[in-house]
Structure 1
Amino acid sequence: MPMSRRALAVAVVSALVLPLSACGSSDDGGGSTDASGAIEGDITFQTWNLRANFKSYFDGLIADFEKEHPGTHVKWIDQPAEGYPDKLSADAAGGTLPDVVNVSPDLLAPLAKAGLALDLDKAAAKYRSEYLDGAWTGQRIPGMTGTYAFPWYLNTGPLFYNKDLFRKAGLDPDSPPKTYDELFTDALQLAKKSDGEVATLANVPTIEDFGRYGVELMNKQGTGFAFNEARGVELLTRYKELYDAKALDPQALTATPESSGKKFLTGAVAMNPGSALDLENFKKQAPGLYKNIGITDQITSTGHVNMYVMGVMVNSRTKHTPAAVAFAHYVTDAQNQMSFAKKVAIFPSTAGSLDDPYFTKEDGTDETRVRIAAAKSLKNAVNYTPVLFSDQMKTALRNEVAKALQGRQSPRAALDNAVKACDRLLTQQG
């Protein structure tokens, strides 16, 4: 039964801060980085909140791997979504980290810095060409050389818009905004025509929005943030204009994905990001909206949409490196990723998989239309959230953005303060 990417925890989650001193370095004992030996031995595989919905899939996956590689045994551990970063941190500090671990890039970063993630550019370079470039590079850590996890599933989604609200504002319902200039112009018109009753956007700009706008987010060394540059200030200034005109929802400062979704359902907001799964929700909960739903691409100044990416990391201290690498690759190879993608609304990170008819052949349904559009955009998508951008940093940025929108400080001062706070948190990561 398909489930949302939020339930799969695809969206970047709480960053964990490892006690690096407790973990030591990659030179402290542990297993071999040579994955060319015999594939044998007992290994542990840890996933993140997947057992409840996909037990039969993973049981079959493990059974097939063990059959293909006699002499191996895979013990599957599944951890709940709540507290997963803390669990990883505790296992890393206690030397009990599983051999193969499901991680998002922000959870991978401290593990790699602690020397606990195997460098796949050294141990598994032969598999590099099997994955999309953006997915493979998404498993790299700024300031470090190497790739530290196999790319697993990806996700992205379109922008939905309410054609009826566009029509009432005198806008062409079949020509949604394609650029930021068009977006801001249309948003101001929607607010004006509705006397401030209809906002176009329901969320303040996040780090991904700055990335899509073409803002440089970090310096190339990965030692400091840079989103207070001129384009960043320009974007926040434009959001301030929307906020003042009520083209940005007044409750955006405290909005959650759920609250934004409800605003869109009730017609208080004209545009909202989503996925193919949302269409079924619209059909059930808001049939009037469903009849007037418009679907368009993410707006970006870079030509690249944002994607979320999951990975499968190999513990550098595993005692069975060949088996751990082989299994991590097996979980993420083209055949198994394709099989998983047909069970849940995610996308494979393997090269060529997005050309499968499942992602290219229209059948007349909106769900398939969204899936096809998302798959096409993922071929050159990027993960705009910096790997080192923690939850604390997201909060710091959000707080400063809120002050700017409320007029308590200028957009320039807000982003300067946010960069200072994030840089300070970055130094604390070790």
Structure 2
Amino acid sequence: MRLLRRILATAATAAVLFPLSACGSGDDGSSGDASGRIEGEISFQTWNLKANFKSYFEGVIADFEKQYPGTEVKWIDQPAEGYATKLSADAAGGTLPDVVNVSPDLAAPLARAGLALDLDKDPAAAKFRDEYLPGAWASSQMPGMEGTYAFPWYLNTGPLFYNKALFKKAGLDAEQPPRTYAELFDAALEIAKRTDGKVATLANVPTIEDFGRYGVPLMNEEGTGFAFNDAKGVELLTRYKKLYDAKALDRQALTATPESSGQKFLTGAVAMNPGSALDLENFKTQAPSLYENIGITDQITTTGHVNMYVQNVMVNAQSKQKPAAVAFAHFVTNAENQMAFAKQVAIFPSTKGSLDDPYFTQEDGTDETRVRVAAAKSLKTAVNYTPVLFSDQMKTELRNEVAKALQGKQSPKEALDNAVRAADRLLQQG
């Protein structure tokens, strides 16, 4: 489950750079649309899913082949480590599978290289658009390009967990957690003050999605450059600097990973941490005392829209069996198959109406259903705040500049200016 969570959070993704020879002309690379007979052999590549979901995918493939006699699906499952590199090599070598599991940031370079089918332009694919949540469909739209380059697949989001025992220890009302950024920062400073800096509230420095949730414009309207160094972005980083100075932000936050931050929360070293329904079982088995004191509240935003993580299914624009590839990509991501998958693991369908199913709307008194119901409701209007063009290199540049600001080596404004310049430079190189 930990590895699946990494996929859901796109923590293992990396920028993929393709040589111009990958697509030749730079157009969609296709030899016609997908409006033809659904037949032939196609390849389908997933991202580290076989170990836990072998029977599910074999069943989906069998159902598809039964529905479309004359088709055959060859399933390929790649490990999480090196997945981006493998995609790059396949793209350059002309061996990219017909249907590929991608996150939005991995789809972006493939789309620019002309290897991702534009679903909006292809009649056989475009007819399915209204089956999906608008925010999910938009997750594979690229700034500066027209079109949509992958079918939405499964989504995830989650609440903000907090440790009621630590709130009580600091003299705060454990039944009234922060619900706004102002309340969050005030509570964090109060907890640090009342525990003499021994208990931090947060374990992570702000990431690009945090700037998005705070209402910072991340890119310019043309999608040609980044814009998170505006006054609101500087305001957020300035507030984090105040937390860091007061020890309300964990001292190891500058080098923290999602795993290490989760461990900090698990052991009671920090008072709050974002998560998902997947975490509750982990709390129950690994930290029973934390589970007994777990508080659950909503993600904090200024926009009214929570962040969502999304996985998509892309069709190779150069597939020799394009009708079958489009049909299978849609089949994998249709409402029935997404619902079946969601009941095997704590994820959410991207199809309209699915989140209205009783499975996602009715609580049974457990924390698990409480989280699931709340998350499903928020996903209807959720946004993938991480720009599809924001690569891992850009994330590293932002993290490095943020660290310098928190340490007082430069001002928040200087840090974000530097991060934007570096991201814009990498964007132009890509």
Q: Counterpart of 2:283 in structure 1: which amino acid?
A: F
1:288 positional shift: 1.5
Does the Cα contact within 8 Å between 1:10 and 1:104 map onto a contact in 2?
no
Aligned position for 1:185: 186
Does the Cα contact within 8 Å between 1:142 and 1:222 map onto a contact in 2?
yes
Query: What CA distance in whole angstroms lies between the structure 2 residues aligned with 1:222 and 1:402?
Result: 26
Aligned position for 2:117: 118
Correspondence 1:86 to 2:119: no
1:35 positional shift: 1.7
Query: What CA distance in whole angstroms lies between the structure 2 residues aligned with 1:13 and 1:62?
Result: 26
Stretch moving more, 274-283 or 64-73? 274-283
Q: Counterpart of 2:169 in structure 1: which amino acid?
A: K
Does the Cα contact within 8 Å between 1:24 and 1:114 map onto a contact in 2?
yes
Specify whether residues 28 and 399 from structure 1 end up closer, same or farther in structure 2 by C-alpha distance, changes over 3 A only.
closer
Aligned position for 1:14: 13
Structure 1 runs, 4 residues or longer, greater than 3 Å off: 2-5, 7-10, 25-33
Query: What CA distance in whole angstroms lies between the structure 1 residues aligned with 2:268 and 2:193?
Result: 16
- Counting matched residue pairs gives 428
> CA-atom RMSD, angstroms?
1.4
Aligned position for 2:297: 296
For residues 11-59 of structure 1, what are the alpha-carbon distances to aligned partners after superposition, in whole Å with 9 as ceiling and x for unaligned? 2533233223121346679543422211111111111111111111111
Does the Cα contact within 8 Å between 2:8 and 2:155 map onto a contact in 1?
no
Correspondence 1:279 to 2:243: no
Query: What CA distance in whole angstroms lies between the structure 1 residues aligned with 2:243 and 2:154?
Result: 35
Query: What CA distance in whole angstroms lies between the structure 2 residues aligned with 1:262 and 1:27?
Result: 45
Aligned position for 2:268: 267
Alignment of structure 1 residues 189-338 onto 2, 5 Å: 189-338=190-339
Query: What CA distance in whole angstroms lies between the structure 1 residues aligned with 2:398 and 2:113?
Result: 26
Query: What CA distance in whole angstroms lies between the structure 1 residues aligned with 2:26 and 2:322?
Result: 15
1:7 positional shift: 4.7
Query: What CA distance in whole angstroms lies between the structure 2 residues aligned with 1:79 and 1:93?
Result: 17
Aligned position for 2:42: 43
Aligned position for 1:145: 146
For residues 76-126 of structure 1, what are the alpha-carbon distances to aligned partners after superposition, in whole Å with 9 as ceiling and x for unaligned? 111111111000000000111111000000000000000000000111111
SS in 2 for 1:6: helix
Specify whether residues 213 and 29 from structure 1 end up closer, same or farther in structure 2 by C-alpha distance, changes over 3 A only.
closer
Q: Counterpart of 1:302 in structure 2: which amino acid?
A: T
TM-score (norm 1): 0.97
Query: What CA distance in whole angstroms lies between the structure 2 residues aligned with 1:182 and 1:9?
Result: 29
1:320 positional shift: 1.3
TM-score (norm 2): 0.97
Specify whether residues 8 and 411 from structure 1 end up closer, same or farther in structure 2 by C-alpha distance, changes over 3 A only.
closer
Structure 2, gaps ≥5 residues long: none
Does the Cα contact within 8 Å between 2:26 and 2:112 map onto a contact in 1?
no
Query: What CA distance in whole angstroms lies between the structure 2 residues aligned with 1:265 and 1:252?
Result: 15
How many percent of aligned residue pairs carry the same amino acid?
Answer: 77
Stretch moving more, 27-36 or 152-161? 27-36
Does the Cα contact within 8 Å between 1:159 and 1:272 map onto a contact in 2?
yes
Query: What CA distance in whole angstroms lies between the structure 2 residues aligned with 1:79 and 1:9?
Result: 15
Does the Cα contact within 8 Å between 1:33 and 1:118 map onto a contact in 2?
no
Specify whether residues 28 and 417 from structure 1 end up closer, same or farther in structure 2 by C-alpha distance, changes over 3 A only.
closer
Stretch moving more, 396-405 or 23-32? 23-32
Specify whether residues 214 and 7 from structure 1 end up closer, same or farther in structure 2 by C-alpha distance, changes over 3 A only.
closer
Specify whether residues 181 and 157 from structure 1 end up closer, same or farther in structure 2 by C-alpha distance, changes over 3 A only.
same
Alignment of structure 1 residues 154-165 onto 2, 5 Å: 154-165=155-166
Aligned position for 1:401: 402
Stretch moving more, 177-186 or 19-28? 19-28
Query: What CA distance in whole angstroms lies between the structure 2 residues aligned with 1:310 and 1:91?
Result: 20
Query: What CA distance in whole angstroms lies between the structure 1 residues aligned with 2:199 and 2:47?
Result: 38
Query: What CA distance in whole angstroms lies between the structure 2 residues aligned with 1:3 and 1:262?
Result: 12
Query: What CA distance in whole angstroms lies between the structure 1 residues aligned with 2:258 and 2:331?
Result: 33
1:224 positional shift: 0.6
Query: What CA distance in whole angstroms lies between the structure 1 residues aligned with 2:27 and 2:310?
Result: 30
Query: What CA distance in whole angstroms lies between the structure 2 residues aligned with 1:382 and 1:163?
Result: 29
